[in-house]
Amino acid sequence: MIRDSIKAAQVTAMKSGDKERLAAVRLILAKIKDKDIELRTAAQTPDDDTLVVDVLQKMVKQRRESIAMYEQGGRPELAAAEASEVAVIESFLPQQLSEDETKAAIEAIKAEVGATGIRDMGKVIAELKARHGAVLDMGKASGLVKAALA
């Protein structure tokens, strides 16, 4: 389980004295704990790995947006700090599909769903997320789906 590997990474970072990695791992664990608390009242809870991957993907997206803002604002030192956090967070994410694999998955779903035009984009994206959500950057995938349906 991904959660266990994150906890093990926390212990390893403590023992090795890697303060930057330890801070990033603690931040990850705090976000996961927040999500667990949020889901206490939910009627249906997702699989643990699905939940953790979702939290990690959101964290990466937030960090990338921050990096862009820091670079525009002329703060390269803050952008570098965010980039190092992104590297730590991505180390826990499952291997992402390549662009070619993503296109192949889109074509297979497109044929299966019978998508012909841009109006069917929602169906294709919903199915793509259901099947490959943990190993896809949905921001990039939506652009590829749009191109495939255009």
* Helix 2-16 vs helix 48-72: crossing angle, to nearest 10: 60
What pLDDT does residue 5 have?
A: 95
Q: Decide: pTM greater than 0.85.
A: no
pLDDT digits (tens, 9 = 90+) for 109-144: 888 888 888 888 888 888 888 888 778 877 788 888
Assess contact for 149 and 103: CB atoms under 8 A: no
Class of domain 99-149: mainly alpha
CATH label, 2-90, candidates 1.10.3720.10, 3.40.50.300, 1.10.1510.10, 1.20.120.10: 1.10.1510.10
Exposure of 48 by Cβ count < 10 A (0-12 exposed, 13-18 middle, 19+ buried)?
Answer: middle
Backbone angles phi, psi at 91, to 5 degrees: -65, -20
Compute the mean pLDDT over every residue in the chain, rounded to the nearest whole number: 90
Which letter does DSSP use for residue 93 in this model?
S
